[in-house]
Chains A and B, each alone.
Chain A
Amino acid sequence: MSVNPFNPPVRVVETDILVVGGGMAGCGAVFEAKYWCRGKCRVTLVEKANLEKSGAVGMGLSATNLGEFTEDPEDPKPEEFVKYVRNEYFGIVREDLVYDIARHMTSTIKLLDMWGLPLWRDPKTGKFLRSGRWQHTIHGESYKAIVAEPCRKSADEVYERVVAVFPLLDEAVPNRIAGVVGFHVRDGTMYVFKAKAVIVTAGGGSLIYRPRATSEGIGRVWYPTWASASAYGLTLLAGAEAVEMCSRLVVVRFKDGYGPVGYPYLLFKMRSTDVYGKTWEPLPDEARAEYRKLYGKYADARPTPTLLRVLTTIRNWKEGRGPDIMQTQEKLKTEEDIHILFEDYLDMSPTQAILWAAQNIHPEKRPSELMATEPYVQGSHATPGGMWASGPPDIAPPEYKWGPNRMLTVEGLFGAGDTVGVSGHKFSSGSIAEGRIAGKSAVRYVLTKAKDYRPTVSKDTIERYREMLYRPMAWYELNRPLTTTPEVPKQMTNWFEIHPNYLNWFQLLNRLMKTMDEYAAGWSAGYVTNMYLLNRAWELLKMLEEDFNCCAGAASLHELLRVWEFYHRLITAQAVVFSMMNRKETRYPGYYINADYPQLDEKNWHVFLLVRRDPKTGEWSWRTVPVIHFVP
């Protein structure tokens, strides 16, 4: 189906709590919000795909990477987890947020068990098995579908295939969210959602940096293609502050297939080497000694911080010893071992299993290459990037409490999952827990402080967004007859069309990915940048934004979706570059090195760096906030 871009239909939905993005955090938020709302408030979910298989876990997952914390002496405690995450980010962490997630994990895991997630159990004790200190192994092909079911039952309304594009700001109260606008990607209806509280639980960003793969293989980024950085695009556009956006995630994965390495390292205790057979994981003492000189005590943290493990793989690759190689054959001794390894990938990243089959790699016989990925922007994994959120009332220091738990720096706008920064290592299960925390917090907010709030959004504003949202389609229609390039079926992008007046989403995206890769420390630049390169990146991104504003074209609703996904990536990329320009040290050496400031500078930079885009002017500003610790 298509739509007349010059006169699209409009549907207005009014609710109390709007959850944007139905992934792990969104499902947790809907469930918990409805639990406390009951008949007193309405909970509405908007999701751009099908709830059953949407979000980063849409293709399955083989572990709940954050598991139970309990009184049992063998189980981890929240303080211990805070220390671990703090080491991972070289100290730049919101301990209150991390602690808060840990203490709500047991109930989250027990709900997953109750709903039907196949968690592996110890047959003797009945406890959930762990592959490492924090994670439980699962048969997770249907992880997302299982979590989606109670979410769908809990929500008052679920709008699927509706993509949220712009935040709506209140016109009577400054810095106050009033809702979001978007459109239905199948029938083209414009949706205006008005709410007392908006919880953004959208995804982080893949395809902001040029992937290592080319042509059709660019779909095989480690973080799925549909993760379009809306977690940051939507909230930055509302004027919310983001934190540590410079820390784009780089992970070591099996080369090309991008199968995760959790099972190999943690469950099978495999080692990885360089091409000459020297072991680099576990990290050798001489490498640790060198890192100690460069990065101080963080080099002695156990487990070795991801930042340093990634740096090791990158250095081996750059210095001619790479790629690193996972010595799978040393540990796969039985048919059961082999089955467990293949199941792991078929359940969450089937391309890895297909790659082994296609290249005749039998991992019980021969090892496999590893590689550092292109950078991603996200907040739930081993990176602290994301939005700046208010903390839990009973733990957070006063400086981190300007509103209800998980409210961002815009009144009424909440976040969870990839949205909330400096609280990573929550992964899928921690994102559900954080969604639940935000859900309850938002209910308390709409039933007390925001009880009498009514969104003020003028007809003119809605009309302005209606024109803006569909402009790429209208622009395409107006300009299309100009060239002789033959047309292709509407839903397909015409890769071959060269047009003087418009750029399609793929052309825009390629410019973004190339700019970020070469100027802002992507893989082809060896994950290194400097102030000259960053200033150029900033200039080129501004031009890209101008080109987007004048000339983005979309032939179909599918392309319109891709165009707006691109826009969220672009705004996020600006936050990344602006953040990199202003953190004048190298805090995250495995993710990038600023050659002008290659040192870790604890004296001046043991602080959070916040960036903000003014929603009226589009101007960016930054400030620093002290990191306040409480775990000794």
Chain B
Amino acid sequence: MPTFVYSALCKGCGKCVDICPADNMQFNPRTRKAYNADPVSCSECLNCVKYCPEHAVDVRSYADFMPLGARVGVVRDTKKNVIYWRLMFRDGTIRDFAVPIRTTPWGSAKGALDFAERADLDSELLCCEDNPEFLGFKELPRPKELKYFTGPEFSV
């Protein structure tokens, strides 16, 4: 159902089990292969399809509103940082797409401790906001005047 695993292709690596946000993909210790154990909770995010190195996971879209016959193929290349899609219509039309997924190498993002330490724990400025370019303003914006009022007397 929604996503499923071809038994001839699954090698039981568990990558789909590891990535599924819904805890749907489960490992069957008897067959040593993965399966979608909870199809009604499947949002068709296709992460299991994207992360399967054997292309063993596929989608047969929701039976209650999807006519059969459409196919979707996807390769998420984390070296070139491009995701390739092939969408086949029920009428046979094929559309191919190649879309960037990231502009920097995986593993290169700076964590909190890679940013210079600051002492102003008391200020409202967050990390990087001591730099006006990051803040977008010369100083942290505050309302021009703080005149509080109740009731609906304001302009839309």
Contact = CB atoms under 8 A, between A and B. Distances in A.
Interface stretch (A11-19, A101-109, A530-538): A101-109
B136 A71 contact: yes
A489 B113 CA distance: 46
Interface residues of A, number: 118
Interface in B61-120: 61-72, 74, 76, 83, 85, 87-91, 93, 95, 97, 99-115, 117
B142 A436 contact: no
A interface, by DSSP: helix, strand, loop or mixed?
helix
Nearest to B126: A436
Given A110-B134, A217-B64, A298-B156, A31 B104 contact: no
B43 A358 contact: no
Contacts of A139: 99-101
B127 to A, nearest CB: 4
Interface stretch (A76-84, A274-282, A315-323, A514-522): A76-84
B42 interface: yes
Contacts of B91: 360
Contacts of A629: 148-150, 154
Contact of B126 (A107, A213, A297): A107
Contacts of A218: 40
A115 B149 contact: no
Contacts of B127: 31-32, 35-36, 107, 111, 436
Contacts of B85: 342, 346
Given A149-B109, A630-B149, A104 B70 contact: no
A457 interface: no
Interface stretch (A416-424, A440-448, A574-582): A440-448
Contacts of A583: none
A60 B45 CA distance: 8
A32 B134 contact: no
B46 interface: yes
Contact of B40 (A71, A153, A506): A506
Contacts of A627: 150-151
Contacts of B54: none
Contacts of A106: 134-137
Interface string B34-68: 00011111111111000000000001011111111
A185 B24 CA distance: 11
A152 B110 CA distance: 10
Nearest to A55: B21
A563 interface: no
Contact of B23 (A49, A60, A602): A49
Nearest to B26: A491
Contacts of A154: 111-113
Contact of B142 (A34, A75, A91, A395): A395
Contacts of B148: 397, 628-630
A141 interface: yes
Interface string A115-130: 1111000000000000
A350 B50 CA distance: 12
A175 interface: no
B103 A358 contact: no
B10 interface: no
Contact of A606 (B22, B114, B141, B152): B152
Contacts of A436: 126-127
A32 B149 contact: no
A350 B65 contact: no
Q: Of B21, B65, B69, which is in contact with the most chain A CB atoms at under 10 Å from its CB? A: B21
A524 interface: no
Contacts of A394: 124, 142
Contact of A339 (B97, B102, B126): B97
B152 to A, nearest CB: 5
B99 A52 contact: no
A571 B99 CA distance: 41
A221 interface: yes
A437 interface: yes
Nearest to B47: A53
Contacts of B95: 338, 342
A407 B40 CA distance: 36
A216 B63 contact: yes
Contacts of A602: 151-152
A220 B61 CA distance: 10
A447 B143 contact: no
A350 B102 contact: no
B110 A115 contact: yes
B87 A224 contact: no
Contacts of B13: none
Contacts of B66: 354-355, 358-359
A602 B154 CA distance: 12
A490 to B, nearest CB: 9
Contact of A118 (B19, B21, B102, B128): B102
Contacts of B137: 70-71, 103, 106
Nearest to B48: A53
30 contacts: A34-B111, A38-B113, A49-B21, A49-B22, A58-B21, A71-B138, A78-B141, A79-B144, A86-B154, A91-B152, A107-B128, A115-B110, A118-B100, A139-B101, A141-B76, A154-B113, A216-B62, A220-B43, A339-B97, A350-B45, A353-B72, A353-B87, A358-B69, A491-B38, A493-B38, A558-B26, A606-B151, A629-B150, A629-B154, A630-B146
Given A34-B113, A150-B111, A354-B66, 20 more contacts: A31-B111, A36-B121, A59-B47, A71-B138, A105-B136, A107-B126, A115-B109, A139-B101, A142-B83, A217-B63, A225-B42, A342-B85, A353-B87, A356-B89, A358-B66, A358-B67, A358-B90, A362-B89, A558-B38, A632-B147
Interface of A: 30-36, 38, 48-50, 52-55, 58-60, 68-71, 75, 77-79, 83, 86-87, 91, 99, 102-107, 110-111, 114-118, 139, 141-142, 145-146, 149-150, 152-154, 161, 185, 213-221, 224-226, 256, 297-298, 300-301, 338-339, 342-343, 346-347, 350-351, 353-360, 362, 392-395, 397, 436-437, 440, 443-444, 447, 489, 491-493, 506, 558, 561-562, 602, 606, 626-632
